[in-house]
């Protein structure tokens, strides 16, 4: 009797086991929920503790919790894993709230842990360079220079280079580094793009690439490339079919802290079909109008996130091409006296 009961439970247990395995194999959504549930609980636990520690300006505790968070994630899977994005979000939050050198020093071991997992994260290289300013200036230079190499168009590393001038010991030989990395590169560099572990921007965040689409047809983007700062360049867009136009949408990442100037919008490259820019309606999620005339718009770009600038116009029909001139100007991060004072030393 006992053997029959035992055999019955064994067969049914095996049958149930294989049914569960089969369901998990064919139902990816259920499989994902079961496997990610412990991860979500861990994420919620550490997010709560880290947020509270940051609000109390207790960066020793922040570092402790982030260290535990990373160690647990590495037990799930060595190297880059699904939890790294959540960890980096909290590290970003903490780093943006850090004010003093002590705050960054307390987070230094976390930046090093992240660097051991992935040494090509732009912001982590910036923060690691920042944390080392007071105790290892050469290593700080290394990480800030590396960050610029990873994302030449991002500004965070250049801002930390300005901090070096303020924070480093006066007897350090910093002038060559500052001249090479900031005074020579910042205002002229257009290579590369912005970098973000979390978000994906238009055209990979590359500030050189931009495009337009007409009306609400975002599926058909006409792409161009900016190759110079501080110079008007004419861009022409030819359409495969005649178009009816009532809005022009300019999209791109552009450069954070720049002025976009647009003039001479011509339809069919015909001066008789030149759009009066003082009569268009400007709509944007991120940008600001600085100046407008009949022939020119000056637009402030304060972000390196996705930009869509919409220019609502009168309705035009039978349009085969469109052209306009555009200039991108960088706004300086500091005044001219900074580089002049370095040259004089």
Pick from 56-65, 139-148, 206-215, 262-271 the range whose average pLDDT is largest.
56-65
Same-domain status, 248 and 321: yes
Assess if residue 247 is contained within a domain: yes
Per-residue pLDDT at 30 = 47
Structure-model confidence comparison of residues 89 and 165, the more confident one:
89
Q: How far apart are the first and last CA of the chain?
A: 98
Per-residue pLDDT at 281 = 94
Tens-digit pLDDT profile for residues 296-333: 999 999 987 888 999 999 999 999 999 999 999 888 87
Same-domain status, 177 and 256: no
On the question of pLDDT at 15 being above 70, the answer is no
CATH code of the domain covering residue 276: 2.60.40
Same-domain status, 181 and 262: no
Assess if residue 105 is contained within a domain: no
- Domain boundary among the residues 170, 198, 226 is at 198
Same-domain status, 149 and 83: no
Same-domain status, 212 and 319: yes
Assess if residue 179 is contained within a domain: yes
Assess if residue 44 is contained within a domain: yes
Per-residue pLDDT at 31 = 47
Same-domain status, 177 and 216: no
Burial class (CB in 10 A: 0-12, 13-18, 19+), 67: middle
Domain limits for position 63: 1-100
- Domain boundary among the residues 46, 73, 100 is at 100
Largest Cα–Cα distance of the chain, in whole Å?
A: 100
Share of the chain above pLDDT 90, in %: 42
Assess if residue 337 is contained within a domain: no
On the question of pLDDT at 156 being above 80, the answer is yes
Total domains in the fold of the chain: 3
Same-domain status, 249 and 323: yes
Q: What's the chain's length in residues?
A: 345
CA dist., res. 244 & res. 248, Å (int)? 11
Assess if residue 112 is contained within a domain: no
Assess if residue 340 is contained within a domain: no
Burial class (CB in 10 A: 0-12, 13-18, 19+), 338: middle
Same-domain status, 216 and 317: yes
CA dist., res. 233 & res. 225, Å (int)? 10
Assess if residue 255 is contained within a domain: yes
Residue 100 contacts by C-beta under 8 Å, 6 or more apart in sequence? none
Per-residue pLDDT at 36 = 55
Same-domain status, 85 and 182: no
CA dist., res. 318 & res. 276, Å (int)? 19
- Domain boundary among the residues 165, 183, 198 is at 198
Per-residue pLDDT at 190 = 62
Same-domain status, 214 and 190: no
CA dist., res. 52 & res. 186, Å (int)? 37
Q: Which of 246, 153, 155 lies closest to 205, judged by CA?
A: 153
Same-domain status, 128 and 214: no
Same-domain status, 212 and 314: yes
On the question of pLDDT at 233 being above 80, the answer is yes
DSSP string for residues in 203-221: GGGBTTEEEEEETT-TTSP
Compute CA distances 52 → 44, 67, 101, 315, whole Å: 12, 16, 20, 54
* Total Cβ atoms within 10 A of residue 195: 21
């Amino acid at each position: 009797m006992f053997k029959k009961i035992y055999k019955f439970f064994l067969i049914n247990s095996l049958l149930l086991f294989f049914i569960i395995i089969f369901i998990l194999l064919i139902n990816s959504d259920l499989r994902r929920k079961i496997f990610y549930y412990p991860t979500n609980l861990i994420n919620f636990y550490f997010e709560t503790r880290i947020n509270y520690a940051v609000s109390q300006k207790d960066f020793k505790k922040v570092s402790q919790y982030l260290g535990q968070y990373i160690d647990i994630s590495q037990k799930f899977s060595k190297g880059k894993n699904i939890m790294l994005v959540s960890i980096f979000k909290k590290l970003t939050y903490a780093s943006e709230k850090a004010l003093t050198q002590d705050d960054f020093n307390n987070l230094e071991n976390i930046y090093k842990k992240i660097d051991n997992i992935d040494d090509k994260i732009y912001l982590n290289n910036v923060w690691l360079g920042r944390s080392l300013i007071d105790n290892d200036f050469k290593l700080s230079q290394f990480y800030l220079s590396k960050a610029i190499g990873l994302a030449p168009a991002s500004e965070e590393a250049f801002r930390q280079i300005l901090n070096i001038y303020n924070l480093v010991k006066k007897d350090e030989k910093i002038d060559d580094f500052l001249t090479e990395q900031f005074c020579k590169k910042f205002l002229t560099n257009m290579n590369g793009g912005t970098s973000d572990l979390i978000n994906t921007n238009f055209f990979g965040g590359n500030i050189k690439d931009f495009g337009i689409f007409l009306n609400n047809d975002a599926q058909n983007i006409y792409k161009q490339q900016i190759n110079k700062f501080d110079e008007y360049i004419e861009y022409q867009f030819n359409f495969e079919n005649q178009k009816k136009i009532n809005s022009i949408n300019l999209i791109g990442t552009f450069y954070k802290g720049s002025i976009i100037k647009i003039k001479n919008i011509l339809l069919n490259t015909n001066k008789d079909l030149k759009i009066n820019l003082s009569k268009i309606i400007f709509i944007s999620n991120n940008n600001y109008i600085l100046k407008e005339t009949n022939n020119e718009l000056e637009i402030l770009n304060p972000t390196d996130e996705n930009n869509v600038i919409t220019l609502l116009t009168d309705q035009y029909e039978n349009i085969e091409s469109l052209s306009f001139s555009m200039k991108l100007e960088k706004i300086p991060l500091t005044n001219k006296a900074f580089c002049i004072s370095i040259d004089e030393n």
